[in-house]
Amino acid sequence: MLEKANEYIKRNHIDEKEKSLFHVTPETGWMNDPNGFSVYQGKVHLFYQFYPYKTEWGPMHWGHQVTEDLVKWEAYPVAMAPDQDYDHIGCFSGSAVEADGKHVLLYTGVSQKDGKEIQNQCIAIGDGKTYEKWQDNPVIKGDIMPEKFDRKDFRDPKIWEDNGTYYMLVGSRSEEIPGQVVLFSSKDLKEWKFETILAENKTGEIGVMWECPDFFSLGEKHVLICSPQHMRAKGYEFHNGHNSLYFTGDYDSEKHTFEKDAPVSLDYGLDFYAPQTTLLPDGRRVMIAWMKSWDSCVIKEKQRWQGMMTLPRELEYRDGKIWQKPVREIENYRKNRCCYENVKVGESLSLEGVRGRMIDLIVELQNADGIVDGSRNSGNQNQEALDVYNEFRIELARNEEYTTVFTYDRKRQILEIDRTWSGVQRDVVCTRKLQITDGRQNLKLRFILDRSSIELFINDGSKTATTVIPTPVEADEILFHSDGNAVIQVEKYDIVL
């Protein structure tokens, strides 16, 4: 099956120009969750849920790509196919660790028994290029858990090593608890012990079945990331149904308890799910996520691949929350700097040189913090201050036919994303609103555009919003509008690999 997949990929090569330039994209077919994001022998490896034969989800393989700088990726042979009794329905999501010089993949083997689907945790061991499934798989079967725990929803192991012990966190549910993550430990990766339920939500308010958990220390805190299914929106949080969120808290590594704070959305756009992190040798905690939603298909007509990854993002814990920034390596690929200062934006403004679809664009908007008059300037009530805009808009990936619009409502401090005219051909969700609560006088919007996507980093990573657009690349104009006196600074670079 592995050979068949690799042969198929070779025969169905897709021109690189039809894919993203610097976002991980499948060679052909379907991609979902990032898996096994890890550093092994000096390179960063990323595996992913992969079905080569269609642009739809199917029996899961593990695709594999490798990078030295988190921007340029090289495709490796498919690492795993669903070819054993214990994983014939699919090699579901998981993670990786280096052990005794080997690269060890932990994944969920999905099989069927007596007409029922079961999910167990399995191992494959490799050298960074080829992997062999362990002869004694599965290493953790559902029956190791307390009785009422579900055998079907028991997946997505995240592994790490601490002081000679391996820990594995797995998403799960039970008859009483709709969403939880359970912790196991092992000295040798083969014999595992059930430790505890590390975190749970009994009311169902935080969705059901917490998929793709991750757990790590960041600054003075521990962070639990998970992607609960079927969650309802609350205020401006959790609008994606299947959400990705984080809890910060305090971890007692002796008792394996985690005192967690309230959950927070990890991203506020339309396409972000199942993030996974790894620790780089230089100490940076980097996160990558599936840049798609389970509920919408936003691809161009005739596109032969579907699903891609976000840009890896550096995480930082500060002022009680997580900040996200694009990995700094992207700056090595910036070309053709184009910069404007103190530009007044009227009804419609385009700026010479500010356009493109593979770009890093920073727009800083003055007086964005909702204060209406000139009182900030010690009572200066000049006309200009009174005429300050209420609405400011940026249109990206635009031409006469297409546009994706970001509208900022200054008084309410709400930013709205609208991709209705981006070329979407189905009745999919096109708008999302998010609240900006930093209380900063200026609003800094950093947009990273790559052929089919827009990632927005607000106020140096206080919030992010990630959105896929199916817009032809010829639509590359950028337009600014305001209904008053909006003043902006603009800095734009092409990303050239």
Q: Quote the least distance from Cβ 40 to ligand FRU, whole Å.
A: 21
- Residues contacting 116, CB < 8 A, separation 6+: 151, 152
**Residues 296, 85: Cα–Cα separation, whole Å:** 32
- Token readout for 293 is 């939603």
- Residues contacting 216, CB < 8 A, separation 6+: 160, 222, 223, 277, 279, 285
Report the SS3 class of residue 49: strand
Residue 231 phi, psi (nearest 5): -110, 140
- Residues contacting 85, CB < 8 A, separation 6+: 111
**Residues 293, 117: Cα–Cα separation, whole Å:** 24
Q: Quote the least distance from Cβ 211 to ligand FRU, whole Å.
A: 4
DSSP assignment, residue 310? Answer: P
CB 52 within 8 A of CB 307: no
Q: Which residues bind ligand FRU (CB under 6 A)?
A: 32-33, 49, 60, 92-93, 108, 155-156, 211-212, 273-274
Q: Which is nearer to ligand FRU, 110 or 223 (CB)?
A: 110
In the block, which residue shows the tokens 């992997």?
A: 131
Q: Which is nearer to ligand FRU, 84 or 485 (CB)?
A: 84
CA distances from 248 to 30, 92, 196, 254, 257 (A): 33, 27, 18, 18, 13
- By annotation, the residues acting in catalysis are 33
Q: Which is nearer to ligand FRU, 156 or 418 (CB)?
A: 156
Q: Which is nearer to ligand FRU, 142 or 423 (CB)?
A: 142
Q: Quote the least distance from Cβ 91 to ligand FRU, whole Å.
A: 9
List residues bridging with 248 in a β-sheet: 223
Q: Quote the least distance from Cβ 399 to ligand FRU, whole Å.
A: 34
CA distances from 294 to 229, 245, 288, 420 (A): 10, 16, 17, 18
Q: Which is nearer to ligand FRU, 94 or 263 (CB)?
A: 94
Q: Quote the least distance from Cβ 362 to ligand FRU, whole Å.
A: 32
